[in-house]
Structure 1
Amino acid sequence: MIYQSDNRITKTIFNGINAYELNVYPYQAIILPECGGNLIAFRDVENNYSFLREPADNQMDDFKENPFLYGIPVLFPPNRIENGRFSFLNHTYKFPINEPVNKNHLHGFFYNHCWEVSETTSSEMESTIELSLKIDKQSDIYRYFPHSFRMSLRYTLSENELVQNVTILNEGKESMPLMLGFHTSINAPFSKNSTMEDYNLQLSIKEKIELNERSLPTGKRLDLKSTEKKLSTEGNSPFFQQLDHHYAAQKDQPNRMVLTDKREKISLIYETGSKYPFWMLYNRDAKSGFFCPEPQTNMVNGPNVPIPLEQTGIIELKSGEFWSAHSRFYTIKHKLRNRRA
């Protein structure tokens, strides 16, 4: 049992892997620095909620093979790059083909990279851990992405929320393309008292981005279907159909996911802000009890999509410049309405 006075950060072991555990009642978070800096667990210990999809002890082989289907993996760049190749400014990049069925590069290099723990702090109000990753000529990633830069990933847990802060600093002499996303895996149900049918999902999407048979954007934007419009307004089941869809976010409303457990009368909110103007929405087979609302800074395969680069969200991070963004998770408990006699 975790008590309200137990705010702390401790080193621990998560299913055989070195981990750090953050506790600020009623919340708990666990992060795996050696496995891509993955925040593998976010829990409400008071109500026994597990918001993120965590691998059980007998799922660790699957976690190591498919780390982007658990917790909050870092995607840099996010999703797919056609043929593993793209050009930006005066440089051509060649990434390994790790999705051979579609001949694409998938999900970048950071989701299974080892991160350094650069800071841990605790107080009566919150607990914070900061991870950092430095890429330079000594890094194995440099041969594919020849830029010197530093990325920090900071998680702060309080009694009200879990906040994620990301900072990327270009330490090289040339501009670099910035393409970032998170393959956030959400449990539905996150309560042991509920079923998949008890959940309603709202996602701030405006347009659907058409994908071809290789799951790459064609350059066309489509109107939302009626089921997707429902998703963007009053909400729909996160399992209304099998999903592996790409969307542009709404610009005139908060950019967020709202997942409501109608039985428990509670909503989990995932706010990502305007720095992530694109979403992927994935639910595997629509019956596995989890889905992934994936915020992205750029369109899938952005450098290769046949539209002007400024419409794809690709960011030019110049020498000496830094970019930062923050997201947060929190919950809202819904009051029961009084019944009229």
Structure 2
Amino acid sequence: MSVKEATYAGESAILLQNGDYEAILLPKRGGNLVAFRDVKRGYRFLREPEQEMDQFEKSPIRFGIPVLFPPNRYRDGVFTVAGRTYHLPVNEESTHNHLHGFFSRLAWPVVASGDNAEGAFVEIRHDVDENHPVYEHWPHRFSISIRYTLTTSSLVQTVHIENTGDTPMPCMLGFHTAVLVPFAPSSSAADCTFTLTIGERWQLDERKLPTGRFQPLNAGEQNMKSGGVSPFFEAMDNHYSAAPVDGHNQMVLTDSKAGVRFIYDVDLGYRHWMVWNNNAGGTFFCPEPQINMVNAPNVELPADVTGLVILQPGESWTGTSRMYAESL
């Protein structure tokens, strides 16, 4: 078990190792955990940018576990929460929306690393105040930390967000997790199916924003809920409510040839999912857990439906998620 400073495709990295597993974090590249591997079996569970660093530079959210705060799209970059109006930059011209927040391109300070009884760990954190670049558009004092712990059997992610200011603050978070298909080198995408604990599908308008109404699940989406379906059964850029099963909110990717399933078990505090598969491109897909639904403050539905969390001064939100593999 170890934590080491390393390089990854020429970038400064933190390498976690424990038993058969290793994980790689790029603190200066959005705090993105770009690799989670079973070294013994040659499995790579995440889409890594090692051979595509030029694409990683252009679109870091398509690799590893990018941080979205706030997640996904917000109409015209404008919304009002607790009497305060927010103006976020419009960075998706085709829809005139704000997309994916502020943290996926920032360097993240490493505040702790080492090993303990739980495993090898590294923690990164931003402390936002009036001097922080995020404050211009998110005018609150707050901290956001992410700790990754590599055990002998899993990768554990713990996120902690605390309102350290004196005004109510919206807490909107997600992860654009890019899962490699297949994860086993001897398998193909045709060997892989997945399930996801979704409830209903939110209808999206021409700007990819929720209308506030549900739409029926098609046959493939029904199989997502139970039985399993190819991650590429159709092009997906879809938004769903989460519907945990037996206390688990998770994506399960099953490789029938390898006889292994990869499980992404996320905190129950993530009330919604996005699923994006790069136009059914056949090499990776993104099951994206989100605290809140897309454009939540602008959707005229109750907070217990939209998942909009407002932290009062001194309040915090913590979510713990886990990735692991098991034999069938």
TM-score by length of 2: 0.98
Structure 1 unmatched runs, 5+: 1-6, 335-341
**Does the 8 A contact of 1:178 with 1:315 survive in 2?**
yes
Report the Cα distance in structure 2 between the residues aligned to 1:123 and 1:129, rounded to whole angstroms. 11
Task: Show the counterpart of 2:96.
Answer: 103
**Does the 8 A contact of 2:172 with 2:292 survive in 1?**
yes
Task: Show the counterpart of 2:275.
Answer: 281
Shift of residue 121 of structure 1?
1.2
Task: Show the counterpart of 2:10.
Answer: 16
Shift of residue 308 of structure 1?
2.7
Report the Cα distance in structure 2 between the residues aligned to 1:291 and 1:194, rounded to whole angstroms. 16
**Equivalent of residue 187 in structure 2, options 191, 194, 197:** 194
**Does the 8 A contact of 2:171 with 2:309 survive in 1?**
yes
Task: Show the counterpart of 2:320.
Answer: 326
Task: Show the counterpart of 1:66.
Answer: 59
Report the Cα distance in structure 2 between the residues aligned to 1:135 and 1:293, rounded to whole angstroms. 28
Structure 2 unmatched runs, 5+: none
Cα distance per residue 1:129-158 (max 9 Å; x no partner): 111111100011101000000011000001
Q: 1:271 is paired with a residue of what secondary structure?
A: strand
Cα distance per residue 1:277-328 (max 9 Å; x no partner): 1000000121240000000000000011132333210101000111101000
**Does the 8 A contact of 1:182 with 1:294 survive in 2?**
yes
Give the letter aligned to residue 328 of structure 1.
Answer: R
Number of equivalent positions: 327
1:135 and 2:128 are equivalent in the alignment: yes
Report the Cα distance in structure 2 between the residues aligned to 1:55 and 1:264, rounded to whole angstroms. 24
Task: Show the counterpart of 2:70.
Answer: 77
Report the Cα distance in structure 1 between the residues aligned to 2:170 and 2:279, rounded to whole angstroms. 33
Q: 2:89 is paired with a residue of what secondary structure?
A: coil
Report the Cα distance in structure 2 between the residues aligned to 1:230 and 1:211, rounded to whole angstroms. 21
Shift of residue 222 of structure 1?
2.2
Task: Show the counterpart of 1:258.
Answer: 252
1:50 and 2:44 are equivalent in the alignment: yes
Task: Show the counterpart of 2:175.
Answer: 182
Report the Cα distance in structure 2 between the residues aligned to 1:164 and 1:235, rounded to whole angstroms. 26
**Larger CA Rg, structure 1 vs 2:** 1
Does the C-alpha gap of structure 1 residues 80 and 125 become closer, same or farther in structure 2, counting only changes over 3 Å? Answer: closer
Does the C-alpha gap of structure 1 residues 251 and 195 become closer, same or farther in structure 2, counting only changes over 3 Å? Answer: closer
Task: Show the counterpart of 1:293.
Answer: 287
**Does the 8 A contact of 2:169 with 2:312 survive in 1?**
yes
Does the C-alpha gap of structure 1 residues 29 and 252 become closer, same or farther in structure 2, counting only changes over 3 Å? Answer: closer
Cα distance per residue 1:48-101 (max 9 Å; x no partner): 0110000133x1121011000000000000000110100001110001111001
Divergent runs of 4+, >4 A: none
**Does the 8 A contact of 1:205 with 1:248 survive in 2?**
yes
1:147 and 2:140 are equivalent in the alignment: yes
**Does the 8 A contact of 1:206 with 1:224 survive in 2?**
no
Task: Show the counterpart of 1:89.
Answer: 82
Give the letter aligned to residue 77 of structure 1.
Answer: P
**Does the 8 A contact of 2:232 with 2:282 survive in 1?**
no
Q: 2:3 is paired with a residue of what secondary structure?
A: strand
TM-score by length of 1: 0.94
Give the letter aligned to residue 207 of structure 1.
Answer: E
Task: Show the counterpart of 1:337.
Answer: none
Report the Cα distance in structure 1 between the residues aligned to 2:150 and 2:34, rounded to whole angstroms. 14
Report the Cα distance in structure 2 between the residues aligned to 1:81 and 1:186, rounded to whole angstroms. 25
**Does the 8 A contact of 2:118 with 2:149 survive in 1?**
no
Task: Show the counterpart of 1:267.
Answer: 261
Cα distance per residue 1:194-235 (max 9 Å; x no partner): 111000100001100000111100000123222111110011
Shift of residue 252 of structure 1?
4.5
Task: Show the counterpart of 2:119.
Answer: 126
**Does the 8 A contact of 2:193 with 2:231 survive in 1?**
yes
Task: Show the counterpart of 2:311.
Answer: 317
1:39 and 2:25 are equivalent in the alignment: no
**Equivalent of residue 113 in structure 1, options 106, 120, 129:** 106
